[in-house]
Structure 1
């Protein structure tokens, strides 16, 4: 993969021009300037990524430090623990992780490969949990990170069960090539999505990252068509056969779906 799933420079701190006219908009632009792999950002880099004046960045960053959303260090600014506390209060994701973790742990024990839990946000996958052992495959995925839907197994599992408008937006939009094996032909991707609906699992074969294979299954709602999330198992080419884990992934996703449905009803 050409870059971490945190996105490009343009995505990291981008905001609509009107949003930057407000204090809140400026603060959000500063926070979103941080990518998934950034530990510290100097003031000058925040200015470059946001396009805001140096004085504005200095003032906004100072307010964020006062509210424990940023820390100021000798190396620059970094995201602070207050953001983690707020994030853990997000009810939907927190409940999903709490309910899903036993199933993810069981799946890891059965496969001893990297296990992911992801949800759809717009036309991207957001990874909300990841479990991997000592031999876990080197993957660009990070908890809280994003990946395009068209080149990931979790993304295909979610996209196959998404509304027609979402599916059309992905198929008709630019299908960025991340490796030589990335599917960039809308017709081929559409056929794979139809196969996901028929077989209940989606595959990725070195489409987001060279050397990685993956199998995923959707976590379906009570109607059996809406995907609440998706679970995947990832391994390295040469020792990992995704087909051999198909039943385990499908069973874990189905069990999690039933549990989420029961909790919703009570």
Structure 2
């Protein structure tokens, strides 16, 4: 499930850390054993080592993820440098739309959210900073997939696609047409495909090459938000961010 090598100590430790889900706060030892499939004594010993290295905290009721993981995550050079450059543009985009703004990157067949900005009336989107969603069911994922290598597109279109809602596009032919359209126009849309009640528009952010380094999106409730009306705004923000990234690359 995690892809970690259970024959190594490191693999078992990673399996324990990846047993946590976004909604989890504290997990009991017995629940960690159940989710990982590891022996109780192994989980107990590795959890103690993870606590000593500030990757887990020992609290009443079990273990929780520690702040040491956050510190390590913030050292990730690509995401950190990207976020530093992009944040002013994301804030400007939020001020112009007053809807939820995302910055995401492609990792395999998923989009990983590097940043999320939303105010008091933000959309109830199934996303969180550091979280991920399949490429096929989000606007930000689709626009990243539209500009991904042909091999990646073929893999996604050939694999079974999770149906998150009744509106999720799971037919390869329909998704392929959407990707072609996204590549032509520069934007992709979502209409209640990752969760009911939300709509989204996204644009790719290119670096110095042909593949995007990230994508940005604006998401809002279907009752008041029309993503098509924000197409020009999102495209302009993506282009401004691209220009800034290009200038920084030239100065290196």
TM-score range, shorter chain: over 0.9
The ranges of structure 1 where at least 4 consecutive aligned residues each deviate by more than 2 angstroms after the TM superposition are none
Alpha-carbon distance between aligned partners in 1 of 2:95 and 2:73, rounded to the nearest angstrom: 28
Q: What does 1:1-266 correspond to in 2, within 5 Å? A: 11=1, 14-16=2-4, 19-223=5-209, 225-266=210-251
Q: Which 5+ residue runs of structure 1 have no aligned equivalent? A: 1-10
SS of residue paired to 1:259: helix
Paired residues in the alignment total 251
Alpha-carbon distance between aligned partners in 2 of 1:40 and 1:166, rounded to the nearest angstrom: 36
Q: CA deviation at 1:175?
A: 1.2
CA RMSD, Structure 1 to Structure 2 (Å): 0.9
Alpha-carbon distance between aligned partners in 1 of 2:157 and 2:27, rounded to the nearest angstrom: 36
Q: CA deviation at 1:140?
A: 1.0
Alpha-carbon distance between aligned partners in 1 of 2:118 and 2:53, rounded to the nearest angstrom: 34
SS of residue paired to 2:84: helix
Q: CA deviation at 1:20?
A: 1.0
**TM-score (structure 2 length as normaliser):** 0.98
Q: Which 5+ residue runs of structure 2 have no aligned equivalent? A: none
Alpha-carbon distance between aligned partners in 2 of 1:235 and 1:85, rounded to the nearest angstrom: 31
SS of residue paired to 1:120: strand
